[in-house]
Amino acid sequence: MNKLATFFYVLKKTFTTPAYYSDILKAPFSFSLKFFYFFFFLYSLVATVFLIPKLTPLKKLVSVLPSRLEQAYPLELEVKFTKGEVTTNVAEPYYLPLKGMEKIFSGDKVLGAQTPNMENLLVIDTASSGEDFQKYRTFALLTKKNIIVYDDDTGGYKAVPLKDIPDVTINRQFVNNTLQQLNPVISKVANYLVPVLSLGIFLGLFLFLSSSKLFYLLFFSLIALLLGKILSFPLSYKKHYQMSIHLITIPTILFGILSLLKLNLSFPFLQTIVMIILTFIVLNTLKSKKSAKVNQTAKPPPTTLPHQ
């Protein structure tokens, strides 16, 4: 039996035959660890395949980004940065509303997030001190010497000084020239975006899932150890950990399928509850199997014939 066939045989038995865990407990720990890593290798690979179609709109966005940005920049707007200070050629405050951006990007599924408290992407008001940032309901406020943005760490907002911005005049022509220079780079990025992101997703899933599950099982095995003592079927901590390495594949696949079907269950300690039930079934089965074996091999009591 080759290694791949062996893996699927063990996986099938892991799911369907509680009594098979007696064979698992006889196997070296390295056997279960190899099974565990190969399982999460395949699981991450399958999950990545299902996620790849969701990356296609992102590739389309990157490929059309230059033309969309060109459309997004207002024809009449000119912003000058001189020695860290801003001047414009338009009446202020000047608004770049979100609705305009959503209209330009509507076919690319980019601005799909709900922003009920926001009306503008950017507001320019060189006379503002920044204290009126919230009234503009904008993501960013450009003042004479600062750009005001939300601060995710504090939940408030912060001012970023413009003193390090080089002297430059930004207008439609400047934007067009810059985008033309970036076009070859953006095209290459679009071509390699899906493969690179797919590889990143796969590696991220594999490393995160495998390490997080192994760490989780360090604690769960203590629960399994206690359950074994309650059922009068004691095993060492290492053997409980080895058994749990196989058991964890069951809720992983179960929750993965439910997530794929968009039937996500939100319940405290759900994975642990499932693992406790599975551990109970396996330990109880192994205990019954051991008792049956002892009864079968027990010698019958000696008998003597009555003296004639």
Q: How far apart are CA 246 and CA 33, in angstroms?
A: 9
- Stretch 190-195: mean pLDDT, rounded? 82
Output the pTM of the full model.
Answer: 0.69
- Can you spell out the DSSP letters for 156-196? SEEEEE-TTSPSEEE-HHHHHHHHHHHHHHHHHHHHHHHHH
- pLDDT score for 110: 45
Structure tokens at 307: 């003296």
What is the pLDDT confidence band of residue 106, given thresholds at 50, 70 and 90?
low
The mean predicted confidence, pLDDT, of the chain is: 84
pLDDT in tens, 199-243: 999 999 999 999 999 999 999 999 999 999 999 988 999 999 999
Number of H helices, E strands in the chain: 9, 8
- pLDDT score for 273: 94
| Percent of all residues in the chain with a pLDDT value above 90, rounded to a whole number | 44
- pLDDT score for 70: 75
pLDDT in tens, 18-72: 999 999 999 999 999 999 999 999 999 999 999 888 887 777 777 777 777 777 7
Structure tokens at 53: 């179609």
Q: How far apart are CA 72 and CA 70, in angstroms?
A: 5
For residue 289, pLDDT beyond 50:
yes
Element at 139 (helix H, strand E):
strand 138-142
Burial 54-85 (b: 16+ CB within 10 A, else e): ebeebbbbbbbbbebbeebbeeebbbeeeeee
Q: Where are the domains of the chain?
A: 3-52+192-293, 78-170
Q: How far apart are CA 215 and CA 211, in angstroms?
A: 6
With 0-12 CB in 10 A as exposed, 13-18 as middle and 19+ as buried, what is 126? middle
- Stretch 158-179: mean pLDDT, rounded? 88
For residues 72 and 104, is the Cβ–Cβ distance under 8 A? yes
